[in-house]
């Protein structure tokens, strides 16, 4: 582990993996914020102290809460694969500049995807950020597979 931490590509991966993981974790508090400000809860116990009339109003979905949840799910669909593929990719010994290009592009794409999704920006902004992120992960997977298959 100590040896890995001296490897520049692995250090770069650890940095960007931590950034996108923290970004994904931020979706929880963002969803909570929308729940509280929009008055939208899904569990009886969350509104236990309210009157029956208030409960009826609060126990309903809200488009902003659902949007934040979809954004969170999309992060899971993309950041979890980036984490595993990126780790394997870092172990294949790529050039630092190429690795940084992959990690930075993916990170920028996921940050922008969240801004586009939560801000409801016009398409194809969100679609493009998603697509470029997928291409980055696919490119890293290609390097992993070609390295392993040539061994
Ligand atoms: N699970 C995704 C979906 O249902 O849309 C697969 C395709 C995807 O991730 N598309 C991007 C997206 O932001 C670009 S359009 N989808 C919205 C979402 O996952 O809620």
Asked if pLDDT for residue 118 goes beyond 90, the answer is yes
pTM summary value = 0.95
> ipTM score here?
0.98
The count of other CB atoms within 10 Å of the CB of residue 131 is 13
- Does the pLDDT of residue 151 top 80, yes or no? no
The CATH number assigned to the domain holding 67 equals: 1.20.120.550
pLDDT of 124: 98
Tell me how far the alpha carbon of residue 117 lies from the centroid of ligand 1, in angstroms. Answer: 10
How many domains is the chain built from? 1
Separation CA 134–CA 150 (nearest Å):
24
Report residue 99 as tokens: 């690795």
Q: Which atom of ligand 1 is nearest to the CA of 70?
A: 20
Return the residue whose CA atom lies nearest to atom 5 of ligand 1: 74
Confidence band of 150 (pLDDT split at 50, 70, 90) = confident
Percent of the chain with pLDDT over 90: 95
Q: Which of 3-7, 76-80, 87-91, 110-114 has the lowest mean pLDDT?
A: 3-7
Distance 25 CA to ligand 1 centre (A): 18
Q: Tell me which residue has its CA closest to atom 6 in ligand 1.
A: 74
Closest CA to 31 of 88, 77, 83, 73: 73
Q: Which two tokens stand for residue 26?
A: 């931020």
Q: Does residue 2 have a pLDDT over 90?
A: no
Residue 79 has pLDDT above 80, yes or no: yes
Pocket of ligand 1 (CB under 6 A): 70, 74, 77, 126-127, 130
Q: From ligand 1's centre to the CA of 102, what distance in Å?
A: 21
pLDDT at 54 over 80: yes
Q: For residue 136, what are the CA distances in angstroms to 24, 62, 109, 120, 123?
A: 18, 33, 10, 24, 20
DSSP codes joined into one string, 77-129:
HHHHHHHHHHHHHHHT---HHHHHHHHHHHHHHHHHHHHHHHTTPPTTHHHHH
In which domain, by residue range, is 41 found? 2-148
**Which DSSP letter does residue 5 get?**
G
């Amino acid at each position: 582990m100590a040896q890995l931490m001296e490897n520049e590509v692995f250090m770069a991966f650890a940095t960007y993996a931590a950034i996108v993981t923290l970004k994904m974790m931020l979706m929880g508090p963002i969803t909570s914020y929308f729940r509280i400000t929009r008055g939208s809860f899904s569990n009886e116990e969350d509104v236990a102290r309210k009157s029956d009339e208030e409960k009826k109003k609060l126990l309903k979905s809200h488009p902003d809460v659902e949007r934040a949840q979809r954004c969170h799910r999309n992060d899971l669909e993309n950041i979890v694969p980036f984490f595993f593929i990126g780790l394997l990719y870092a172990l294949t010994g790529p050039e630092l500049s190429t690795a940084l290009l992959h990690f930075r592009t993916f990170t920028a794409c996921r940050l922008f995807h969240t801004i586009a999704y939560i801000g409801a920006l016009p398409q194809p902004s969100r679609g493009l950020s998603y697509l470029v992120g997928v291409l980055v992960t696919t490119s890293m997977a290609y390097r992993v597979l070609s390295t392993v298959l040539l061994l």
